[in-house]
Structure formats: C-alpha cells, structure tokens
Amino acid sequence: MGPIKQSPAQLRNVFGANLRKLAESYASVSDLSRQLSINRTQFNRYLSGESFPRPDILARICSFFGVDARIMLEPIENLTCPPDPFSCAYLRNFVGAGNRQVSQDDFPSGFYRFSRRSFVDPDRFVVSVVMVGREGENTLLRGFETREAMRIQGLPTGAISREFRGAVMRQDEGITIIAARSNAMAVSFSHLSRAASFENNFWVGYVTRTVPESVGALRVTRLVFEYLGEKISDALPAARTAGLQELDQLQPFHKHLLRPHIPFS
C-alpha cells in the first residue's frame, strides 16, 4: 500500500491550523506578521488555509518558530516536544506509554516502606517511606533521603535538599521507577516485580545509582517495597523508624527478600 496523498486544500488546512496554534501566544496577528516581515493580509490567508507561502517565506516562518517544513504535512503537536519529553510524539508510544499504563492493581496509590542496602554505608540499610499517586494518566512518586545518609556525604539535611521525586512506568514483568533529587541530582533507576506474600503487598527488585565506576563502590543493590495503605496513619509507624538500620533491625520479610548474605548478580 502506497503513502496516503493529501490534496492541496488539505495541506493548506494543515498548515493553517498549525500556524494558528503557533500564533496563539502572540499579542496580535498584526504584531506577529510585522515580526515575520509578512504582509498582514497575506498572513491572514495563510492562517485561514487559503494560501501557501513561497519557499523563502516558509523558510522564514519555520526559522522563526523553530520548526521544519513538516509544518505543512503534520499536526504541530507531532513536531514539537512539550516540556515533559515523555509526552512528546517521538517518545509517546515508547517510554511515555509505560508511564500512562500503570494500573492500581500493578502498583496502587498510597504509602510504601522501602528498604535497601545503603550506597554510602554498605554495612547498614536504608529504610524509608515514599508516597505514590496519580496525576492524570501519570503515576508519580515522592520521598525523602534519610538525614544520616545526607550527613555522611557532607550534604545539606533540610527537607528541600533531601526530597526526591520520580515517575513510575509499567514493564512486561513489573514496573520501573526513575527518580532524582531537585535539579536532577542523584538520579536512580529501580525495577520491581511483585513478590509472593500473604497480603500480596510486596515488590522486590533492584536499584542503581548514576555514579562513575570506582573500585569497591556500591552502585546496584536489591530493593524491597511494601505497600502500607492510602492513609497517612498507615505510614506513620514506618516513618518513625526511617533511617539507616542494622541488619537485625530490618522487618523480617524485608530481610528475607533482600537476601543480604547473597551477592547481587
């Protein structure tokens, strides 16, 4: 089957619709046509889909708005990326699709206790609480690094410095989480799949941190998430015990799933 051909009238309509969207953020058509050095009457004909621009004028329009000649062929949303790169047409059905397809059954909204071996003190374990919620079709995560872990690294321990946020995405065999502190500091990548448990409320996998390779440094370790519930009261007991813990302080099933005496591979 050959490519679908568009008539000149259809192309003019596509171009006109795109140009109207691009012009929306400008105070007036008169001002915009002046900036483009295009006669206002002629510019109105472009906007209404009555006329095509000459190649030199089309090049001027494309340069001004930062688009290319596909402005005459495809809707403008397919040509430009919004601030969220996962939502742009280039990634929407690849990375972005997973971000919009995490069901409540796969990973419910609410509070989770997580545990993992500490990257900065490998003899101890980080235990903390994160919150997972939905914003539109997206599944988002928010939490705070432990004060002691930040202090060991010589970093500020205030809430703003410790806060991290992330996006949860569906995978064929579980979910992934990409998270970072403010300004893309300390980015981490996690993969989790549901673990067999009595209440079906545990996920197990691993987390990696984005740091350069160095001899003996820990960059990947097992990770456990335990769903606590949707209410703050469900999370408070776990939040009160958050921090760096010794092995014998871990919750029994967390310790079982982390398998601390077996090297990660």
Helices (H), 24-178: 29-36, 40-47, 55-65, 95-99, 147-152, 159-162
Asked if residue 167 has pLDDT above 70, the reply is yes
Q: Are residues 192 and 115 in the same domain?
A: yes
> Do the domain assignments include residue 54?
yes
Mean pLDDT of 175-191: 89
- What is the pLDDT, as a whole number, of residue 183? 80
Cα separations (Å) of 152 from 37, 144, 146, 244, 265? 60, 15, 10, 11, 27
Q: Are residues 136 and 182 in the same domain?
A: yes
Q: Are residues 62 and 157 in the same domain?
A: no
Q: Which of 192, 213, 187, 216 has its CA nearest to residue 204?
A: 192
- Domain boundaries, position 120: 99-258
Q: Are residues 162 and 65 in the same domain?
A: no
**Two tokens at 135?**
């914003």
pLDDT tens sequence across 110-166: 999 999 999 989 999 999 999 999 987 789 999 999 999 889 888 888 888 899 999
To the question of pTM greater than 0.85 for the whole model, the response is no
> Do the domain assignments include residue 251?
yes
> Do the domain assignments include residue 37?
yes
Query: Which of 50, 80, 110 delimits the end of a domain?
Result: 80
- What is the pLDDT, as a whole number, of residue 71? 80
> Do the domain assignments include residue 265?
no
- What is the pLDDT, as a whole number, of residue 87? 62
Q: Are residues 115 and 194 in the same domain?
A: yes
> Do the domain assignments include residue 24?
yes
pLDDT tens sequence across 218-230: 899 999 999 999 9
Mean pLDDT of 194-216: 88
Q: Are residues 42 and 152 in the same domain?
A: no
Residues 6+ apart with CB under 8 A from 123: none
> Do the domain assignments include residue 185?
yes
Percent of the chain with pLDDT strictly greater than 70: 88
Most confident of 88-97, 122-131, 165-174, 212-221: 122-131
The pLDDT-based confidence of 1 (bands split at 50, 70, 90) is: very low
Q: Are residues 56 and 174 in the same domain?
A: no
Q: Are residues 142 and 75 in the same domain?
A: no
pLDDT tens sequence across 30-81: 888 888 999 999 999 999 989 888 889 988 888 888 777 888 777 776 665 5
Q: Are residues 253 and 125 in the same domain?
A: yes
> Do the domain assignments include residue 89?
no
Q: Are residues 198 and 118 in the same domain?
A: yes
**Two tokens at 220?**
């990947």
Q: Strand, coil or helix: what is 253?
A: helix
Are the beta carbons of 225 and 262 closer than 8 angstroms? no
Q: What is the CATH number of the domain that holds 113?
A: 2.40.128.120
Are the beta carbons of 190 and 207 closer than 8 angstroms? yes
Residues 6+ apart with CB under 8 A from 113: 127, 128, 129, 225, 226, 228, 235, 238, 251, 254
Q: Are residues 108 and 192 in the same domain?
A: yes
Q: Tally the domains of the chain.
A: 2
Q: Are residues 229 and 148 in the same domain?
A: yes
Residues 6+ apart with CB under 8 A from 243: 126, 127, 128, 146, 147, 148
> Do the domain assignments include residue 228?
yes
- The total of other beta-carbon atoms located within 10 Å of residue 28's CB is 10
Q: What is the CATH number of the domain that holds 75?
A: 1.10.260.40
